[in-house]
Amino acid sequence: MALPSDLSLLAYLHDADCNSVCWDCFDHSARRITLLARVDDDSDYEPWKGRNISLIHSDVVACRFIGWGIQFGRERIDSYREGISPALTAECDRLRYSGIDIPPLSFTIIFGSGSTIELVCRELAVEVD
């Protein structure tokens, strides 16, 4: 399992096929969200180019998903970036104020259909098949 040292590499996921999004709640102490994708053959990042990858978000404290099922063809990742919306940030601030530890990483994933995932987690790991 490799941790990305440079989160700007997530930009290379543009146009990757999203094959699966899994909310793993088996371990109640460390919820995970795993996104399985196939990186586009035209990607400029050679280690991921045309490869299947797993993006594993660990210790997820907050997640917001808006899904649109009206989609022709495969679902593709439009953007994968650091940061979350002001609304989810405010909810995390309320949790932090009440004494809950909020992890440092936050991401927004936008798909070609307009579906969106926002999440706050402690760690992101990338596995390349």
Please tell me the pTM assigned to this model: 0.90
CA distances from 107 to 41, 70, 78, 80 (A): 24, 24, 13, 7
- Please tell me the total count of domains within the chain: 1
* 70 located within any domain: yes
**pLDDT for res 29:** 74
* 2 located within any domain: no
* 1 located within any domain: no
* 84 located within any domain: yes
Mean pLDDT of 83-103: 96
* 27 located within any domain: yes
On whether the CB atoms of residues 83 and 107 are closer than 8 A, the answer is yes
**pLDDT for res 62:** 94
**pLDDT for res 67:** 87
**pLDDT for res 1:** 47
**pLDDT for res 3:** 55
* 106 located within any domain: yes
**Residues spanned by the domain of 27:** 7-128
* 48 located within any domain: yes
**pLDDT for res 74:** 78
Task: Report the alpha-carbon angle 12-14-19, nearest 5.
Answer: 110
User: pLDDT of 17-71, one tens digit each?
Assistant: 999 999 998 887 779 999 999 999 999 999 999 999 999 999 999 999 998 877 6
On whether the CB atoms of residues 39 and 48 are closer than 8 A, the answer is yes
* 23 located within any domain: yes
